[in-house]
Structure 1
Amino acid sequence: MAQKFDSNVWEYPIDEFSPHDGNLKEILQRQIGSSWDFNKDEWNKACSTINHVLNTILKELRNQAQKHFEGLVIYEDFIRQASARQGLKINEPDEFDALFLFYIEGLRLKEVRLTDISDQYLPGQIRLRVEDVAQLERFPSLKRAGVFEMKSGTCLINTRVLQEQVFKSLMDKALHELTLRCGNSSENLTINRGSRPPTMDMTIISSDGKSVNADFVPALILSQESIYVPINASSLVPITFQRYGLMKWINKKNTIIDEEDKNFIWRSCSSSYERCMFDLCDGNKERSYIRTACRVMKALVKQLRTRPNQAAVLLSSYHLKTIAMYCILLLTVPSKLTSHSAPLNGVREALGYFLTFLELVLEKECLPDFFLGNEYLDKIFPGSYFSKIRIKYNLFDKEDPAKVQAAKYGLPEMKTVLAECFEVRNLNPRVVTFFREKTLSV
């Protein structure tokens, strides 16, 4: 099991239903109106394509970095993440997310907390300060580009410049070189690039017209920690987690962020911890039922967006995965809260908890980030960086308020579609109360 947590491969999704569920999967696919599965050959072909393209681009990115920016080092491999790594893809393997890691050789950086205009600490967001300004002479190209900027006597990394002037430039040069060598194709693949900072998104089109999207994100390793994670009631396993910094500069109106701070923001990324949450489902039936319920809800939301349904319009894959992670934590991690509850008996009951949590989330117009201010996080990641953060962040804060307010009116249709496919009669009331009164209190 320990090797699983170190794995850096795409994960083919496998649903798990209990004997108690009977033919629930067939009923769900009929009522939702679509199958969320795809065959293994289709998956393997998409994974092979994405691995080939990202490895080819990464190799050229490394070459271009060495040529144009002294001290900028890009790692040889990329980090697979999000649904395609977590075993949560649905419908078709058409989108993959990955980080490519970099550092500035020999440059000492210190994390600095970021506050809003009211001087309130913003959880999960930081700035990076250069500890020794004299070091900057070793990086003339980065310096000329404007990556290092003085603000109130402190030298900070300008994330907007780093993204726009350095990494976008490197990506353009890398793709240009590949085009010259391969005639705008590599083994009959065409690559089109966009940019949605901090993501460098690509559409890869094969000769048969099939397309695969890749979100390729530069990430700086901020820290590394080893944590003994409770994989079950009797076993703790040491797992190494890397915490990444993603460039988060703001290019639109945000009234709570000081204008002078907007070009210096990094997000403290928790993706390696998130990956672990779904790795914990392997070999554990209860958690596998929750992961399966998450895929069901993703399929339902995707189908209902065509109506459109108000809840489906609001809810993203990450929102649904966040609810799934709360289910995993509160229902399957040994604690005083859950020790007397009966184990989950299948996907029907997992869906019951999922819909109950979702209803509370939509009523309160609040879905706290799982890794920020989660008072229960220490139960699964004891002593971790994120377990020490006490301030919550509502994921709906960055959504359109009108959509958030309207979303609750879409829930009845969700329940109607899933009629007789979920159970709520045996839910642990203490878990539901904890989620409502503790988790959702922001």
Structure 2
Amino acid sequence: MAAEELFANTWRFPDDLFPTHEVSLRYQIQEKISIPIDFTRYLWEKACFVADDVLRIILTELQKQAEKNFEGLTIDRNFIRQGSARQGLKIESPDEFDVIVPFKIEGLRLQEVRLWDTAGQYLPGQIRLRVMNDEQIDMLPKLQREGVFEMVNGTRFLNTKALQEQVFKSLMDKALDELSPSNTKRVGGRPSNVYYVTRGSRPPTMDLTVQVEFQDTVFVDFVPALVLDSETISIPGAIISSSHDKAINFPRFGLMKWINKENADICEKDKELRWRNCSSAYEKFMFDLCFMNRERRYIMASCRIMKALVKRLKERQNQAAVLLTSYHLKTIAMYCILLLTIPTVIVPSGFHIAGVREALGYFLTFINLSFEKKCLPDFFLGNENLGKIFPDSHFTKIRVKYNLFEKENTRLVEAAKYGFPEMQKVLYGCYEDNNLNARVISYFRDRILTI
């Protein structure tokens, strides 16, 4: 991949790379996991078409509804592809697609305000959004009527629950009603593709289930995202296999993460004002880097293998597999990319990963260490090495780590290590575990996993 192709807003078909001496390993792993990892390009292209087409139709109608019902709310029709289908990490079936849909509230000046828990500890990556020009609110009466602007101790904040529940859900339901089969218009005398779409809700996501006659069901995770800022970062040439640094623009979004259940760590007054500082643009770039480098592609292959293994073992209620999410596995993959392929002081000069077998060995080792320490830090929060990839970026200024296992069931986190041996057993003979770099492993255990 040429450097100028980084960050393309396209879905990416998974294309694992195994070195010549490991050609048989692909089939050996497939046999051991016993669920299909790959799928055909034909199925992929059909599913991508459905996702893109239905999103294009929905966003056109959503914009109309926003203009009609909420002055000042502007929704971008150009959705941003993300998640496994964008990163080349889908397994088994191309049935789920994740998108960010940028939006703005015109005229508002917002200030990001740190969020603290009930013990007075800073919550990294979480913010409130303060309205700095209260007079503008009078220009947005319909949003105001729905409770989007909440006064707390004399300060006005954006209420994420009201924005999600009263505004975006309402708009989506109106849009889907207009697009229902009974209202479908004919195009050129013939009916256009008829989509049967239903909506769920998992803040900040609106889950869309799309059914169409010529295709299996497609699921779309639709995430409205408030545009916060953007920054241009000069990516070091050594990172992108170039003789020159390259300036790349990274948009940054706020996701509506209001809390609708008991959480003793979050102040009651903050539960409906909570936003997550979204790092999706930076995450997407991390996986784009893999397509420029053979060793990083071995890590990508390992990530897909582990996703398939976790999916299989979840069916057996294996504790490790039940705990691990796709995002946990991607986080492990990003630490592998950082520690094994980015020029740092951690590995000696000339260090290389020989193939998927070795990459899988590091992957499993990092998972096991995370279980032992009951800790897996978010890659973009408090990562002291982040500046080697994203010099002087917004996220390099966040010094506090966040444990991704923090929000999981405590008993499940405790039990995960007992499910790990079954992972090793299934993949026995497919990964390297004797000749791994001790310096890398000790750094991950003693520095990365220390919070």
Q: Same fold (TM over 0.5)?
A: yes
User: Offset at 1:125?
Assistant: 0.3
1:410 aligned partner: 419
Deviation at residue 318 of structure 1 after TM alignment: 0.5
Within the candidate set 418, 421, 434, 1:425 is matched to 434
Partner SS, residue 282 of structure 1 = helix
1:308 matches 2:317:
yes
- Structure 1 residue 331 displacement after superposition: 0.6
The reply on whether 1:206 has 2:207 as its aligned counterpart is: no
Q: Match for residue 227 of structure 2?
A: 221
Residues 299-328 of structure 1 show CA distances to partners (whole Å, capped at 9, x for unaligned) of 111111111211111111100000000000
CA distance in 2, matches of 1:170, 1:33: 43
Match of 2:404 in 1: 395
Secondary structure, in 3 states, of the residue corresponding to 2:163? Answer: helix
CA distance in structure 1 between the aligned counterparts of 2:240 and 2:39, rounded to whole angstroms: 29
Is 1:243 equivalent to 2:221 in the alignment?
no
1:109 corresponds in structure 2 to 110
SS class of match (1:424): coil
* 2-structure distance, mates of 1:86, 1:6: 10
Asked if 1:324 corresponds to 2:333, the answer is: yes
Aligned-partner Cα distance in 1 for 2:135–2:374:
49
Write the letter of the residue equivalent to 2:107.
Answer: G
Q: Which moved more, 1:111-120 or 1:87-96?
A: 111-120
Contact 1:20 1:345 in 2 (8 A): no
CA shift digits 1:330-359 (9 cap, x unpaired): 111111112436200100000010011011
Aligned to 2:203: 197
Deviation at 1:55, TM superposition (A): 0.8
Q: Name the residue aligned to 1:266.
A: 275
3-state SS in 2 of match to 1:319: helix
Hey, which bits of structure 1, 4+ residues long, moved more than 3 A? 232-235
> Shift of the alpha carbon at 1:2?
2.9
Counterpart in 1 of 2:133? 132
CA contact (8 A) 2:37 2:92 kept: yes
Q: Check the 8 A contact 1:145/1:166 in 2, yes or no.
A: yes
Deviation at 1:254, TM superposition (A): 0.6
Deviates more, 1:112-121 or 1:337-346: 337-346
- The residue number in structure 2 matching 1:91 is 92
Residue in 2 that maps onto 1:352: 361
CA contact (8 A) 2:184 2:194 kept: no
1:21-50 deviations in Å (ceiling 9; x for gaps): 231000000111122000001000000000
Moved more, 174-183 or 259-268: 174-183
2:290 is paired with a residue of what secondary structure?
A: coil
Matches within 5 A, 1:162-201: 162-179=163-180, 180-182=182-184, 187-201=193-207
Which string of whole-angstrom CA distances, capped at 9 and with x for unpartnered residues, describes residues 226-274 of structure 1?
Answer: 1122213854322111111000110011101100110100000000000
State whether structure 2 residue 38 is matched by structure 1 residue 37.
yes
Distance 2:137 2:93 in 1: 47
* d(CA) in 2 for partners of 1:240, 1:421: 39
Q: Distance in 1 between matches of 2:415 and 2:69?
A: 50
Residue 346 of structure 2 aligns with an amino acid whose one-letter code is L
For residues 259 and 341 of structure 1, the distance between their equivalents in structure 2, rounded to whole angstroms, comes to: 53
SS at match of 1:48: helix
CA shift for structure 1 position 144: 1.0
Q: Distance in 2 between matches of 1:236 and 1:282?
A: 18
Letter in 1 for 2:229: S
Distance 1:238 1:302 in 2: 38
> Who is 2:188 aligned against?
none
Instruction: Encode CA deviations 1:120-174: one digit per residue, 9 max, x unaligned.
Output: 1110000001101111111111111111111011000011000000000000111
Match of 2:384 among 359, 375, 383: 375
Gapped runs of 5+ residues in structure 2? 186-190
C-alpha distance in 2, partners of 1:186/1:199?
27
2:5 aligned partner: 4
Mapped pair 1:26 → 2:35:
no
User: Do the aligned partners of 1:233 and 1:334 also contact (CA within 8 Å) in 2?
Assistant: no
Cα distance change, pair 235–350 in 1 and its aligned pair in 2 (3 A): farther
Report the CA distance shift for 1:319/1:374 in structure 2 as closer, same or farther (over 3 A).
Answer: same
The count of corresponding residues between Structure 1 and Structure 2 is 441
1:436 aligns with 445
Q: Are positions 1:286 and 2:295 aligned together?
A: yes
With over 3 angstroms needed to count, the CA separation of the structure-2 counterparts of 1:415 and 1:121, relative to structure 1, is same
CA contact (8 A) 2:240 2:292 kept: no
Return the alpha-carbon distance in structure 1 between the equivalents of residues 145 and 195 of structure 2.
36
**TM-score (normalizing by structure 2):** 0.95
Matched position secondary structure for 2:124? strand
Deviation at 1:197, TM superposition (A): 1.4
- Matched-pair contact (CA < 8 Å) for 2:381–2:400: yes
Match of 1:338 in 2: 347
| Per-residue deviation, residues 360-412 of structure 1 (Å, max 9, x unmatched) | 00111100001111111111111111111111111011111111111101111
Letter in 2 for 1:213: F
The CA deviation string for residues 4-26 of structure 1, in whole angstroms up to 9 with x for no partner, is 22311110000000123231000
Asked if the contact 1:357/1:435 (under 8 Å) is kept, the reply is yes
Query: What is the one-letter code of the residue matched to 1:378?
Result: G
> Secondary structure of the residue that 2:48 maps to in structure 1?
helix
Unaligned runs of 5+ in 1: none
TM-score normalised by the chain length of structure 1: 0.97
- Root-mean-square deviation (CA, aligned residues, Å) is 1.4
